[in-house]
């Protein structure tokens, strides 16, 4: 049986409001499938209908579930907007048999049920397990537990799932969800940029330390703040040649008072490349987090060693060039060490092939 040569996707690289790890992951996934000759058509980004219509569609989704979600009217409207987008896409692409589901946020968890009702197979590609991301920070456990059960139920009902984190693959298996693993790897445009930085570093002896991240994301802010505190507590830590950069990083100005650290704030690609060329290492620290950091394989491709605590290094601890710091003492030891330039990380070709094979099988083209 031969199906259509295309799949639908609820995300596109252009749907992200700013460049970063999420956009890079989406681009990676789409490149893998397009290189295999699979066309990707995107679900419309906006629902072209009234708020009343969104509420009606949202109620049609929730009523059969008996409102087990305990959802607010706002959540009902958001699910209705998802339904409107999907119905529009299905009408415009009547031969579609597969939907790629990346946006697994709680407000979009109607996606797999609506797609299955329309006869489509769903391939879940979660960037992280949304229920376990405490946003806003301090979300009460009962709410997290309830949302986790909901998320597991939705992920367990898809035709196939691919995680970017070994830890999340393991956790889902404990709850009966058999997910595959496709690690993050830089898409072509990002890889080319990293390789150009790698070439520039060949003749350098970089000595600076780079801390970067989007400080507008609470877990990243907490981790960067904790890392700055750790560095300052080290003997002579305030005199270390540290650069701090990233969207929203201006919020760390009070943390840098009395140090020699340089605050760059948000930087463009050219300025970030300059910082990476002169970086002895990139320092990463997280107190919590889901998914996996796309930044780690990008840094290794750019020939930049990574110093990271175990949470930030999840799913990447085994990679050459990633040095895990379990304590401040470990961090100080690595900072005083000669860090060898990392070898080129291997592209996950076997995992890519499994994704292509899975999608083709569901399309009826295996």
Confidence class for position 366, pLDDT limits 50, 70, 90: very low
Question: Torsion angle, CA of 105/110/116/120, rounded to 10 degrees?
Answer: -50
Mean of pLDDT values over 345-366: 92
Rounded CA-CA distance 22/77 in Å is 25
Decide: 244 and 234 in contact? Cβ < 8 Å: no
> Does residue 162 register a pLDDT over 90?
yes
| CA-wise closest residue to 211 among 200, 225, 197 | 225
> Does residue 65 register a pLDDT over 80?
no
Complete domains list, the chain, with CATH: 6-183+348-363 (3.40.50.2000), 188-335 (3.40.50.2000)
**% of the chain at pLDDT higher than 70:** 92
Confidence class for position 1, pLDDT limits 50, 70, 90: very low
**CA dist 112 to 73, 177, 244, 366, Å?**
21, 15, 40, 22
Residue 349 token pair = 């070709």
**CA dist 362 to 33, 68, 125, 267, Å?**
13, 30, 15, 42
Mean of pLDDT values over 39-47: 89
Rounded CA-CA distance 107/115 in Å is 15
Confidence class for position 288, pLDDT limits 50, 70, 90: confident
Mean of pLDDT values over 174-189: 96
Rg, Å, the chain Cα set: 22
Confidence class for position 4, pLDDT limits 50, 70, 90: low
- HSE-up of residue 343 (Cα within 13 Å, Cβ side): 6
What mean pLDDT is reported for the chain?
90
> Any bridge partners for residue 126, and if so which?
none
How much is the pLDDT for 356? 98
Confidence class for position 246, pLDDT limits 50, 70, 90: very high
Sheet holding 39-42, edge to edge: 39-42, 6-9, 98-101, 121-124, 160-163, 180-181
Where is pLDDT greater, at 74 or 366?
74
Q: Is 224 helix (H, G, I), strand (E, B) or coil?
A: helix
| CA-wise closest residue to 29 among 364, 355, 366, 362 | 355
Mean of pLDDT values over 105-134: 88
**CA dist 152 to 19, 155, 180, Å?**
29, 5, 15
Where is pLDDT greater, at 93 or 142?
93
How much is the pLDDT for 76? 82
Where is pLDDT greater, at 332 or 132?
332
> Does residue 227 register a pLDDT over 80?
yes
How much is the pLDDT for 134? 59
Instruction: For tokens 């879940």, name the residue.
Output: 124
Q: Is 193 helix (H, G, I), strand (E, B) or coil?
A: helix
**% of the chain at pLDDT higher than 90:** 67
How much is the pLDDT for 302? 97
Decide: 96 and 90 in contact? Cβ < 8 Å: yes
> Does residue 66 register a pLDDT over 70?
no
Where is pLDDT greater, at 76 or 122?
122
Where is pLDDT greater, at 53 or 169?
169
Confidence class for position 120, pLDDT limits 50, 70, 90: very high
How much is the pLDDT for 190? 93
Residue 169 token pair = 């693959």
Mean of pLDDT values over 39-64: 82
Decide: 217 and 228 in contact? Cβ < 8 Å: no
How much is the pLDDT for 212? 94
Helix/strand/coil (H, E, C) string of 250-266? HHHHHHHCCCCCEEEEC
Q: Which residues of 72-85 are buried (b: 16+ CB within 10 A; e: fewer)?
A: eeebbbbbbbbbbb
């Amino acid at each position: 049986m031969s199906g259509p040569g295309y799949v639908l996707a609820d995300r596109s690289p252009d749907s992200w409001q700013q460049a970063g790890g999420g956009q890079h992951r989406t681009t990676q996934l789409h490149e893998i499938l397009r290189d295999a000759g699979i066309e990707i058509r995107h679900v419309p980004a906006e629902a072209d209908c009234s708020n009343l219509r969104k509420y009606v569609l949202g109620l049609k989704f929730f009523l059969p579930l008996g409102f087990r979600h305990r959802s607010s009217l706002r959540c009902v409207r958001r699910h209705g907007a998802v339904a409107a987008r999907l119905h529009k896409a299905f009408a415009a692409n009547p031969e579609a048999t597969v939907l790629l589901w990346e946006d697994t946020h709680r407000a979009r968890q109607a996606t797999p049920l609506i797609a299955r009702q329309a006869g489509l197979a769903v391939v879940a590609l979660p960037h992280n397990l949304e229920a376990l991301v405490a946003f806003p920070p301090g979300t009460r456990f009962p709410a997290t537990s309830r949302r986790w059960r909901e998320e597991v139920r939705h992920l367990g009902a898809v035709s196939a799932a691919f995680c970017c984190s070994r830890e999340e693959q393991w956790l889902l298996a404990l709850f009966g969800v058999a997910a595959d693993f496709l690690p993050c790897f830089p898409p072509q445009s990002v890889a080319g940029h990293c390789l150009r930085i790698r070439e520039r570093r060949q003749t350098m002896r970089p000595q600076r330390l780079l801390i970067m991240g989007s400080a507008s994301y609470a877990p990243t802010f907490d981790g960067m703040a904790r890392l700055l505190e750790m560095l300052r507590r080290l003997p002579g830590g305030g005199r270390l040649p540290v650069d701090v950069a990233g969207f929203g990083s201006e919020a760390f100005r009070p943390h840098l008072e009395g140090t020699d650290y340089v605050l760059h704030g948000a930087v463009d690609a050219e300025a970030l490349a300059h910082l990476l060329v002169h970086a002895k290492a990139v320092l990463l620290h997280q107190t919590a987090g889901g998914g996996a950091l796309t930044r780690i394989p990008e840094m290794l491709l750019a020939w930049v060693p990574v110093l990271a605590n175990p949470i930030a290094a999840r799913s990447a601890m085994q990679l050459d060039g990633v040095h895990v710091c379990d304590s401040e003492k470990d961090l100080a030891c690595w900072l005083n060490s000669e860090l060898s330039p990392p070898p080129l990380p291997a592209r996950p070709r076997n995992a890519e092939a499994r994704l292509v094979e899975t999608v083709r099988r569901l399309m009826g083209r295996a």
